[in-house]
Amino acid sequence: MGKLNNPNQHLFIHCPCCGQATLVSSTKKSFFCSACKFVFYLNCAAAGIAVIVNEKNQLLVTRRKKNPARGSLDLPGGFAEPGESIEQSLIREIKEELDLDITHLEYLCSFPNTYPYKSVVYQVTDMAFICDVKSFETIKARDDIDKFYFLDLAGLDKDLFGLDSPKKVIEYYLCLSA
Ligand SMILES: [Zn+2]
C-alpha cells in the first residue's frame, strides 16, 4: 500500500543504477529496481525557518519570488546544504536573503512539509528558530525574496502565507507568546 503514498511514484521510472525502466515505488520515500535490486531513496530534506521579531513586536515576513506559492508571504529561511548544521544553514540563508546577521538563535518547533518543485514533490522537515539579529539597518530583499515586511503579530492573518509550515510556525509561536 506504500505505493499509493509516494507522491513521485509516476515520475521516477528509470533505475539510476542500471538505467532500465524497472523502477517502482516501494514505500512513500523509496523506489525499488526489479532488474538489479537497487533501492533509491528520496529522504526528507532539512530546512530552517527564522522567526525574527522587532522591538515593536512585529514579525519579519517575506514575499516569495518563486514557486511554489510565488507571491505569497513566507518566513525567511531555506534548505540546509550538505555538510551544514541546521543552525549554520539558517544563518547563511538569512544573510543571503536579507543581509541580516543572526547573533543568537533558539529552537522553537518543527513540522513536516512538502515542497513541490519542477514536478518532484520533496518531503521536508522544517525546523523553526527564534532568531536575534545584530541590527535591521542592513536589511534588503535579495536572492529568492521579492519583498519583506514587518507585520504586527497581533491579529496576523495566517492565510496570507502560501505554504503550510509558516502558518503552523506562526500559530505555534503565537500560542507560546500568548
Ligand atoms: Zn536497476
pLDDT tens for 76-94 read 999 999 999 999 999 999 9
Q: How far is the centre of ligand 1, averaged over its atoms, from the C-alpha of 70 (Å)?
A: 37
In the predicted model, what is the mean pLDDT of residues 31-37?
A: 96
In the predicted model, what is the mean pLDDT of residues 8-16?
A: 91
pLDDT score at 134: 95
Q: How far is the centre of ligand 1, averaged over its atoms, from the C-alpha of 146 (Å)?
A: 42
Domains defined along the chain, listed by start: 2-41 (2.20.25), 45-177 (3.90.79.10)
- The CA distance from 45 to 17, in Å, is 22
In the predicted model, what is the mean pLDDT of residues 7-23?
A: 93
Q: How far is the centre of ligand 1, averaged over its atoms, from the C-alpha of 119 (Å)?
A: 22
Residue indicated by cell numbers 522587532: 54
- The CA distance from 146 to 133, in Å, is 20
Q: How far is the centre of ligand 1, averaged over its atoms, from the C-alpha of 22 (Å)?
A: 7
Other residues' Cβ atoms within 10 Å of the Cβ of residue 166: 27
- 23-32, 83-92, 130-139: segment of lowest average pLDDT: 23-32
* Residue ranges with CB less than 5 Å from ion ligand 1: 15, 17-18, 33, 35-36, 38
- pLDDT tier, 1 (very low <50, low <70, confident <90, very high otherwise): very low
Q: What is the DSSP letter of 142?
A: -
In the predicted model, what is the mean pLDDT of residues 26-53?
A: 94
Q: How far is the centre of ligand 1, averaged over its atoms, from the C-alpha of 30 (Å)?
A: 13
Q: Does 146 have pLDDT greater than 90? A: no
Q: How far is the centre of ligand 1, averaged over its atoms, from the C-alpha of 4 (Å)?
A: 21
Report the relative pairing of strands 23-25 and 45-51 from DSSP bridges.
unpaired
pLDDT tens for 40-76 read 999 999 999 999 999 999 999 999 888 787 888 999 9
* Closest to 93 measured CA to CA, from 76, 110, 108, 73: 76
- The CA distance from 75 to 81, in Å, is 19
Other residues' Cβ atoms within 10 Å of the Cβ of residue 156: 17
Q: Using an 8 Å Cβ cutoff, are 127 and 79 in contact?
A: no
Q: Give residues with Cβ within 8 angstroms of 14, minimum separation 6.
A: 20, 21, 23
Q: Does 176 have pLDDT greater than 80? A: yes
Q: How far is the centre of ligand 1, averaged over its atoms, from the C-alpha of 148 (Å)?
A: 46
Residue indicated by cell numbers 547563511: 92
Q: What's the mean per-residue pLDDT of the chain? A: 91
pLDDT score at 4: 52
Q: How far is the centre of ligand 1, averaged over its atoms, from the C-alpha of 18 (Å)?
A: 4
Q: Does 149 have pLDDT greater than 70? A: yes
Task: Transcribe 48-77 into DSSP letters.
Answer: EEEE-B-TTSEEEEEEESSSSSTTSEE-SE
- 1-5, 59-63, 106-110: segment of lowest average pLDDT: 1-5
Report the relative pairing of strands 45-51 and 120-133 from DSSP bridges.
parallel
